[in-house]
Amino acid sequence: MNLSQHVTVVPSTLPHSSHIPQQQSREYPPEEWESKRPEIEQLYIEEDLKLEQVMEKMAASGFHAT
């Protein structure tokens, strides 16, 4: 499964969660998504975090996907 095929990174027109640091979204190349795959899977599948929580943790480490 290629994560970049399932998640599109675009500037959001929706109100941002107050917990997600406001950073300018950008499109990440497939290689960068793949490098983040283990961390995303760990948080979402193994730790059973909700998508918003995964996004918060990834944003805190500098990966600002929406």
Give the tens place of pLDDT for each residue, 3-42: 555 554 544 444 445 454 455 567 899 999 999 999 999 9
Q: In this structure, is residue 13 part of a structural domain?
A: no
How far apart are the C-alpha atoms of 40 and 49, rounded to whole Å? 10
| Domain region containing 64 | 29-66
How would you class 65 by CB atoms within 10 Å of its CB: exposed for 0-12, middle for 13-18, buried for 19 or more? buried
Q: What pTM value is reported for the model?
A: 0.60
Chain center to CA of 30: 13
Q: In this structure, is residue 49 part of a structural domain?
A: yes
Q: In this structure, is residue 60 part of a structural domain?
A: yes
The pLDDT value given to residue 13? 44
Residue 54 has pLDDT above 90, yes or no: yes
Q: In this structure, is residue 65 part of a structural domain?
A: yes
Q: In this structure, is residue 8 part of a structural domain?
A: no
